[in-house]
Structures are given as structure tokens and as C-alpha cells.
Structure 1
Amino acid sequence: MKSIVFFNNKGGVGKTTFTFHLGYALERAGNKVLFVDLDPQCNLTAHICDEETIDKAWSEKGDSVYKAVEPIIKGAGDVKLIEPYKVENRNIWIFIGDLLLSDFEGELSNAWTQILAGQERGFRVTSAIYRIIQEFASKNDIDYILIDVAPNLGSLNRAVLLGCDNFVIPMIPDLFSLRGSQNLGRVFADWIRNYYTSKQRIGVSKLQFDTPNGTPKFSGYILQQFNVYRSRKTKAYERWSSQIPDYINEYVIGPLNATDLKILDLVLTIPDYKVADFKNYHGLVPMAQTSLKPIFELTSRDGVIGDHTRYVNDCRREFEQIANNIQSIIK
């Protein structure tokens, strides 16, 4: 069982679309996949669930992620275990997102102060979502947990990062995406260092509940949404994409490999740090969203005609390869 978070401090890099397609590709390869939508915008949920399912999950007796942490937010107890939604006839589940999840940010911010002070409640609150995920994934032999988060460095994303096994940075080859990666390593290293030190100080044996190790591995980046002209990336995109490895090395790997963090082994070494390329499929993305299925499973019934068929087949081959790469890199 491996949990992977896809994160960039810059929005609009296609992380939700990629996460969705990767999950379905991994399932087609014979894996059990659990999606977790922890972005209050709920775009991953909208990719997978129809409005009736979402409305039910958001109802008073629903089972969205917010409902799981609502007792903590209201001061009424610990996290409530919930069941994720299962996609019909697939080995795919999703913990449904909720716009109200942003209400949990304040509790997590207070919990971080308590962690630094060595107080048990801080660890209990911070580990709440981690415990929900682990409970279900362990009982159901989940192979991959794919977590979608918002593009910010807030307290919710801090709790998610510390509770994952691996994180991957989606990027598009432009100035803004590169800029968005510049503070990731420094901030992540600071979070990991403080959590690890605090956990050592309080002693794991004193905590009567599961807590994450807090040692996520950087597992590469994904180059997304690049345009192709006559089978080659456009020159403007080539210019920015060629700079990504240096940025990753300086601003992500450098801070995570700081001397005092070496013992934690926070970087997964792969050539050039690139996990995959994901092309821009333009009009097929909204078609896939409407059909609640990945591009590579679209058919003529979904509106695929003419050249679209070739793109659907290209996407299928592309994600078969990406799924293979992920399985070989993240074991």
C-alpha cells in the first residue's frame, strides 16, 4: 500500500486531471485504488461522482471527508470513521471531498502549535484524516492511495504531506510553475524536521492511536499540458521544461537532503526526477468530465468522432506507460 500526494504551490497545472487518469490506469493494471479528495474545490470528486451521489454525501447524514472530521471541528470528539464511495464495477473508491473541509484548517493550525509543544491532542487532530485513510485501506487491501490537495501551503496540506508515503510535483513548462516550486523543499523540510523532532520528544509509545511517520519521499515531477507540433514540443515549452531539473535539484532536493535530514531518506532517486509527460488533450478533457470517465475510456457514445479516436488511443497508451512507471518507481 502506497499513498501519493500530487502537489504544487501553483494552481492550474492539471494535477487533478492527471491524478484521476493515473488512478484509473493503475486500476486497469490490476490494482485497487483509493482516491482521497482533500481539495475543498472538490474537482476530483466531480470527475468521479454524479451530482446525486455528491448531494447525498453532503447531506446531514452523509459521508464526505468533512463529516469525518466534523466532531473535531465542533469539539464533540475524535474523528468519525466513514466509508468511501465505490465506483460501480471497478476496484476504485473515493473519499468524497467537501467545500466545508476548509473549516478544518483552523483546528489543524492550532494542532500544529500543540505538536510543537509536545501535546497529545495536536498529534490526534493532525493524524485524523491519516487514520481514516489507513483504516479503510488496510482492511480492503488497497494498493495505491492517490490524494488530491489544494495549491497552497496551509495547515491541511501540511497534515496531508506528513501522512503520505510519496509526493510528486505536477508542473507545466512556464515561468509561474517554476516559481511555484521554489519554496516547496524549504517549507516541506521545515515541516518534516519539526514534526519528527516533536514526535521523538513526546515518544510514540505515549500515543494510543496511529500517527504518520512524517517522512514523505519526493518521488519526481510530472510535465503536463505541453503542446505538440509535428511530434515535437513547441520551442517556448522546451525553453522552460529544460530548466525544471535544475529547479528541482536546487529548491526541492537540496533542502530535503540537508545534513540534519539525511537520516530520514526523503528523496527517491530517479533519472532527471521526471516521472511522466502528460500532453494537452484539449477538448477531450471536458468530454471526459461530463462522461465521468478518463479520456482513454471514451467511446463514440460519449461523442468521440474522427481524430478524437486517435487521441483516445494515444492517451490509453500514454497512461499504460505512466502506470508502469509509477509501479516501478513507487514500490
Structure 2
Amino acid sequence: MKIITFFNHKGGVAKTTNCYHLGWKLAEKGKRVILVDADSQCNLTGLAMGLMPNDYSSEVEDAEKNGDDGKASELLEKIEREESEIVKRADNFWRSVKTNNIHSALRPAFKAEPRPLEPVEVVPVPGNENLLLLPGHIELADYESDLALAQNVKGSIGSQQNIPGAISHLLNITGEKYGADYLLVDVSPSLGAINQNIVSISDEIIIPCAPDYFSMMALMSLKEILPKWKSWALEAARSKGLQQAVYKFPEPKFRVLGLTISRFVMYKGKPASAFAAWIDKIQRACIEELKPAMQEADILSEVTKTEESPFIMAKIRDFNSLRPKSQEAQKPVFALTDEDLGLSGRSLQNMIKQREQADQVFERFADLVIESK
């Protein structure tokens, strides 16, 4: 069983989308996968369970540009109707997992309650029998300060000793209960204690990026941050106080598996020039700076050490009009059927082409993950 975390402290880099799509593809290949929502925004839970409002903004814009007021009005009414239905569905779902989510499951350790941590009753993801969800919770962020205090290894005493190892213990006993091959963890865009902990107890890290200046800045900071977190985790695992804990903090073994680059537009079969320039810059930065830093800190996966397997694991174009179709059908873009697309003629053919491209990208992405040892 492997714990793989999608981590970047920059937001808007498709962490949640890529986590969901990779999980589905691994499950298609016969792997037992648990999606773990460790972001208090709970977007992975919403995406997996169909609780996200569909985005028809581009279709409304196109209708208005074409002067089709009737179509635009029809779409706006559809948005209002679907949002009302989603609110009801979301309310029912959150009631059903009120005591069955990552926040509630960790409560005994963080609140020093006299009961052990127990595996979470995961939720089946609709449409894929091998894919399960460990739901998130908006109040998970409340544990941030407690964890930060407990992770001061020189001052962690008493019941605080059980906090740093609690997340690792919970994920492992949950994964073991369901015979999971992979736990894919979606985290918030931050450098807080929860993310530091989850990265440190993971087996592998995938760094999602976008082709822009701020992603480049984030990568340059991560080449310093990840080695520091490895050093901290080594100290924590070997500290006398945490060794005496009920939930021991594990010896860190995380490796950076590679990057994904998402959120770019295609033009004539290639990334549009503005995006292509940033993709090239990020690739060079990975080869010249990030990869050597990860190797020096001994946190680079064997898969990405070889020349045959690039550090960039997947380049994932913007899904454009496939995104609302995906949310409406509650499945990834590459799993959409022609009927799900609901189009004909040239529009259908264009979407089929995009769907096939997405399938090829995530097929290769999943194979690289499976190849990692």
C-alpha cells in the first residue's frame, strides 16, 4: 500500500482534479484506491460525490456572443435548477458522514479522548467499484495549531505525543481495512503543519503546477522546503518523546515522484505559445535546480532518476467544455461516453478528440505511478 500526496503550496494548479482523475484511472487498471480529502475546502469530496455545481459559464458566454438570448436564458435557468438540487444533495451527504470523516476520525488523538483511533468507513465513489473516498471536513483546519505545537519535538509531552503520528496511523489502518493499493491525498495550498505532517508520512509526492510565473516561484521554494521537512521528520521519528507515543511518528520515506503541468490551452495541436514558453521554463528549472536538490536530499523517486522517465509525469491540457460534462456525469473526462457529451457533428468530434487525449495522458500517468517501487 502506498500513500501518494498531491502537494503544492500554490493554489489553482489542478491538485484536486488530477488526484481524482489519477485515482479513477488507477482503479480502472484494477487497483484498489482510496481518495483522501485532507483539504478543509473539501473540493475532492465534492468532485467525487457530485456535489460541485456545474460550470456552464463558457457555454453561456458563447450563446451571448452569438446573440442566442434564448439559449443563454435556458442555460441560466438550468444553472439555478441544478444548484438547488446540489444544495439538497450536499446537505444529505454531509449529514450522512457527520461522524465519518477525516476530522471526526482524528478527534480521539487531537482531543485526548480515552478511545483509540478507528478506521474510517469510506464511501464508494459512484461509477467505479475500485474507487473509495475518505471524506474531508471543513473543520480539519482547526487541528492546525494543535499539530504545530505537538510537532515541536522538543516540547511535545503527555497527550501531545500522540498527535504527530495520528494521521499516519489513521490512513494506514483505513487502507489496510479496505485492502487499498493506493491512498491518494489531496491537501490544501499551504505550508502549514497539517501539510508538513502529511507530506512527511507519505510514500511519494506529486507536485502539480500551472505554466505561469507563480508556479515557477513555488518550485524554487519547494527545493528548499522539502529537504527541510525531511530533516524535521527524521528528528521527529527519532525523538524520545514521540517514540513513546501510542501512535508513533514513522521514519520518513517520502520521495518526489514528479510534476504535473495543467491549465494550459492548446492551439493547432500544441500548447499555445504563451503557455509553451512557461512549460519550457518549468522543465528547465526541474532539470537544472529542483531535480538536483531532491537528489542531494535523497528524496527523489527511482522512477524520475532515469533519463527514460521524465521528471514531468503528465502535461494535462485545460478540459474546457469537457469540465461541466464531467461534473454532470460524475466521472472523469476520459470516461465520458458519446451520450454523456450530448453533441453531434464537428462539436462531438472535437470533444471526442479531447477525451482521447486526456485518456492517453492519464493512462501514461497511471503507468508511471504503478512502475514506481
1:112 corresponds to: 151
Matching of residue 193 in structure 1 with residue 243 in structure 2 = no
1:46 corresponds to: 46
2:67 corresponds to: none
Per the alignment, do residues 210 and 72 of structure 1 end up closer, same or farther by CA in structure 2, a change over 3 Å counting?
closer
Answer with 301-310 or 147-156: which moved more.
Answer: 301-310
Letter in 2 for 1:289: Q
Matches within 5 A, 1:233-244: 233-244=271-282
Conserved in 2, the CA contact under 8 Å of 1:38 and 1:150?
A: yes
1:316 corresponds to: 359
Letter in 1 for 2:283: P
Amino-acid identity (%)? 27
Tell me the secondary structure at the aligned position of residue 243 of structure 1.
Answer: helix
How far residue 14 of structure 1 moved from its aligned partner, in angstroms, is 1.0
How far residue 70 of structure 1 moved from its aligned partner, in angstroms, is 2.6
Question: Which ranges of structure 2 fall in alignment gaps of 5 or more residues?
Answer: 52-88
Letter in 1 for 2:9: N
Tell me the secondary structure at the aligned position of residue 263 of structure 2.
Answer: strand
Tell me the secondary structure at the aligned position of residue 314 of structure 2.
Answer: strand
How far residue 314 of structure 1 moved from its aligned partner, in angstroms, is 2.6
Matching of residue 68 in structure 1 with residue 139 in structure 2 = no
Per the alignment, do residues 75 and 277 of structure 1 end up closer, same or farther by CA in structure 2, a change over 3 Å counting?
same
Per the alignment, do residues 233 and 63 of structure 1 end up closer, same or farther by CA in structure 2, a change over 3 Å counting?
same
Deviations 1:114-160 (A, max 9, x none): x2446474452122222111112123321111110111100110111
1:173 corresponds to: 211
Return the match for 1:138 from 148, 154, 176. 176
CA distance in 2, matches of 1:137, 1:13: 27
Matching of residue 266 in structure 1 with residue 299 in structure 2 = yes
Per the alignment, do residues 58 and 132 of structure 1 end up closer, same or farther by CA in structure 2, a change over 3 Å counting?
farther
Question: Which ranges of structure 1 fall in alignment gaps of 5 or more residues?
Answer: none
CA distance in 1, matches of 2:241, 2:148: 22
Tell me the secondary structure at the aligned position of residue 226 of structure 2.
Answer: helix
CA distance in 2, matches of 1:253, 1:122: 36
CA distance in 2, matches of 1:242, 1:116: 44
Tell me the secondary structure at the aligned position of residue 181 of structure 1.
Answer: helix
What is the aligned-residue RMSD (CA, Å)?
2.4
CA distance in 1, matches of 2:258, 2:356: 26
Matching of residue 94 in structure 1 with residue 133 in structure 2 = yes
Tell me the secondary structure at the aligned position of residue 242 of structure 1.
Answer: helix
Deviations 1:26-80 (A, max 9, x none): 1111111111010111111111114547744456853011111233444434544
Return the match for 1:293 from 313, 325, 331. 331
Conserved in 2, the CA contact under 8 Å of 1:227 and 1:279?
A: yes
CA distance in 1, matches of 2:194, 2:95: 20
CA distance in 1, matches of 2:98, 2:277: 52
1:128 corresponds to: 166
CA distance in 1, matches of 2:173, 2:254: 19
Per the alignment, do residues 76 and 267 of structure 1 end up closer, same or farther by CA in structure 2, a change over 3 Å counting?
same
CA distance in 1, matches of 2:111, 2:209: 37
CA distance in 1, matches of 2:92, 2:163: 27
Per the alignment, do residues 61 and 44 of structure 1 end up closer, same or farther by CA in structure 2, a change over 3 Å counting?
closer
How far residue 84 of structure 1 moved from its aligned partner, in angstroms, is 1.1
Deviations 1:251-284 (A, max 9, x none): 54444444xx4xxx31121434111111111121
Conserved in 2, the CA contact under 8 Å of 1:7 and 1:169?
A: yes
CA distance in 1, matches of 2:240, 2:111: 26
CA distance in 2, matches of 1:247, 1:284: 31
When the two structures are aligned, how many residues end up with a matched partner? 324
CA distance in 2, matches of 1:61, 1:187: 35
Structure whose CA Rg is larger: 2
